Amino acid sequence: MKLTTLLTSVAAVAAMAFAGVASASAESTLEIVKKRGHVRCQVGPASPGYYFLDSKGEWQGLDVANCHAVAAAIFGDISKLEIQSVSTQARFTSLANGDSDLLSRTATWTMSRDTQLGIDFLTPTFYDGQGFTVPKDSGIKTGMDLKGAKVCVTSGTTTESNLNDFSRTNNLNISAVTFEDFNVRDETYLQGGCDAVTGDKSSMAGNISAFPVPGDHLILPDTLSKEPLAPAVRHGDNQWADIVRWAQFAMINAEELGITSANVDDLKANSKNPSIRRMLGVEGDLHKGLGLEKDWAYNIIKQVGNYGENYDRYMGNGPQGIGIPREGSSNALWTKGGLMYSPPMR
């Protein structure tokens, strides 16, 4: 069952909503999900690389892969999933009040979000930073050239506050032109309504690829911020947080161990490596603490792939990729100088 839901209502206070759902039900999230028969996973309005509809009308992307992984871990079937496309303004409350089981949508993990909204962020799936896109013929070379400029930005995001901080710190008097919809933001920029547009560099790279003439635009070298993009779950259900967290770690650990969707069956049947055998449920009882079946991680790798496979497919140079190099970046495995790291599965 693959469903698509559009949630657009602007929420009240997330913490109050969370308190209400907590008192209304003593069931765990895993119990609710199993009874319902599918996972409700929240993404945002379509964004290249992260979450988008393919030619068959199915949601794909790096963040959608996290949704698939959780469905595979619980049900052994990635189709047991409802993808919810939620507005930026409603996203956190939708999670906190129980409309969504899981948020996986280019959300930056910050202290205030993690401690004040009734939600918990998990391990980052992409490390990003904020930058600027400008017309190539504008003569603008760095962010410091934007003194007095109009900059298009999505409202209600860390991007907006980072832009204000950058302007104040450097006395640039930048005028922020805010939009709820990034598509309207980009269209305004393309029509000359702003001198630049600002956002996470990876998202801007994907958006530029859809511009009428991508080569007419460039991303400046400045990086305004650190943006650890991470899934989130409701606060207070440790088992559910463990399931989502270790579904992510399974994909990262599989890449480190050389397990792919193509060779996982062979390794499950023939590998003598204890780490591989434990991970794939051939020996040990790693599944017990999660409340899942022994083959939970095998199902993730078989049906979704490891982290590297998904990065190449959606963020790299795969057919659906947006061409962001991984080598030498924070998104490389820790064994290759990056930050992608899984605790041992033992």
Q: Which helix (H) or strand (E) holds 240?
A: helix 238-257
The model's pTM: 0.85
What's the pLDDT score for residue 158? 87
DSSP designation for 335: G
What's the pLDDT score for residue 88? 87
Nearest Cα to Cα of residue 82 among 67, 97, 61: 67
- CATH for the stretch 2-126+229-336: 3.40.190.10
What's the pLDDT score for residue 23? 43
Fold equal for 2-126+229-336 and 130-225:
yes
Q: What is the mean pLDDT of each run of 10 residues along the chain (346 residues)?
A: 49 44 69 98 93 95 98 98 94 96 96 96 96 96 96 91 95 95 92 95 87 94 94 97 98 98 98 97 96 98 98 93 91 97 95
Q: Would you say 231 and 248 are in contact if contact means Cβ atoms under 8 Å apart?
A: yes
What's the pLDDT score for residue 3? 54
DSSP designation for 214: G
Name the residue type at position 171.
N
CA dihedral of residues 330, 153, 120, 30 (deg, nearest 10): -100
User: Distance between CA 120 and CA 109 in Å, rounded?
Assistant: 9
User: Distance between CA 251 and CA 273 in Å, rounded?
Assistant: 17
Fold classification of 130-225 (topology level) = D-Maltodextrin-Binding Protein; domain 2 (3.40.190)
The domain segmentation of the chain, as residue ranges, is 2-126+229-336, 130-225
**Cβ density class 100-135: b for 16+ within 10 Å, e for less:** bbbbbbbbbbeeebeeebbbbbbbbbbbbbbbbbbe
